[in-house]
Structure 1
Amino acid sequence: MPPITVMEAEARRLNALASSSAVLFPRISHFLAQELERATVVADNSDLRGVVRMGSQVRYCDEKTGEVRDVVLVYPHEADITLKRVSVLTPVGAALIGLSIGQAIEFQTPGHNKRSLTVLGVSN
């Protein structure tokens, strides 16, 4: 797994989200919690240019299909797939948090398939 970086306030909020969602979404909340456990947590005033954060616009490539997508990573209540606003409580969203440009991550889909994404660009 690639190293990931998350700001302190986001880490707190995302940990609370993972805990509160464990009953309704056990698999994805567990994946998000695991990602946060392995993350390097930095001060909120850190310069994280090129790192996927909440609210980031992210361009990534699905390594299986070769498809390039542009999405905004958001909290669940802001999600709207028609506006390309992807919740952090989805497999793609949880996989993207904390990644830097050029990093790839492999994760499991709800259908138990392996999927791999590579971050091509990030703007905050």
Structure 2
Amino acid sequence: MSMRVPMTTSGAAKLRAELHELKAVARPRITAAIAEARSHGDLKENAEYHAAREQQSFAEGRIADIESKLANAQIIDVTTLAASDKVVFGSTVSLSDEDSGEESRYQIVGEDEADIKERKISFSSPIARALIGKSVGDVVEVRTPGGLKSYEIIAVSYI
């Protein structure tokens, strides 16, 4: 039995959109490319055929990967969580660096959704593990590559 992996509704929607794109657009395009390359005769020295087969292998692997992730996902709609000042999976947390006063904001998401450019961090990351279960006003310490950092939780939202 595999363990359910938490994922936000927006993360699941992104995976479903990618899955649809792969099945409805990429798969038929690759199949047509293979048929076209086959029509050129000898497959041993046919670079187009081998490239199309490689694309097919990649696309089919990604389809299987996404289907598996969605099948094992525990999808959590953060907008339905009872509003509180406690940090939980899916919540968006505003922090103040105790040393610099610099503020930052992160949403705690599933591992496949984590994207630091979008300010989304995995629930298994050191900072998320330090934050989960804490409340507004709490100070958490996080071991970072640059040393120990202290952050005050200044706001928690569920959006």
Shift of 1:51: 0.4
For residues 88 and 145 of structure 2, the distance between their equivalents in structure 1, rounded to whole angstroms, comes to 23
1:123 match:
157
1:114 to 2:148 alignment: yes
Report the RMSD for the aligned CA atoms in angstroms: 2.4
- 1:38-94 superposed Cα distances (whole Å, 9 cap, x missing partner): xxxxxxxx9561101111011111112211011101121110111110112222111
Name which of 49, 74, 91 aligns with 2:84.
Answer: 49
For residues 121 and 82 of structure 2, the distance between their equivalents in structure 1, rounded to whole angstroms, comes to 23
1:76 to 2:74 alignment: no
1:92 to 2:115 alignment: no
Aligned amino acid, residue 123 of structure 1: S
5+ long unaligned stretches in structure 2: 7-80
Q: Percent identity?
A: 36
For the pair shown, the structure with the greater C-alpha radius of gyration is 2
Number of positions where the alignment pairs a residue of Structure 1 with one of Structure 2: 82
1:66 to 2:139 alignment: no
Higher relative contact order (CA 8 A, sep 6+): 1
Contact kept in structure 1, 2:5 and 2:110, CA below 8 Å: no
5+ long unaligned stretches in structure 1: 1-11, 15-45
TM-score between the two structures when normalised by the length of structure 2: 0.45
Structure 1 residues 16-27: aligned runs within 5 Å: none
TM-score between the two structures when normalised by the length of structure 1: 0.57
Report the 3-state secondary structure (helix = DSSP H, G, I; strand = E; otherwise coil) of the residue aligned with 1:77. coil
- 1:73-124 superposed Cα distances (whole Å, 9 cap, x missing partner): 112111011111011222211111111000001232245x111111000012
Any runs of at least 4 consecutive aligned residues in structure 1 with deviations exceeding 3 A, and if so which?
none
For residues 55 and 119 of structure 1, the distance between their equivalents in structure 2, rounded to whole angstroms, comes to 15
Q: Hey, which of these two has a bigger chunk of helix by percent?
A: 2
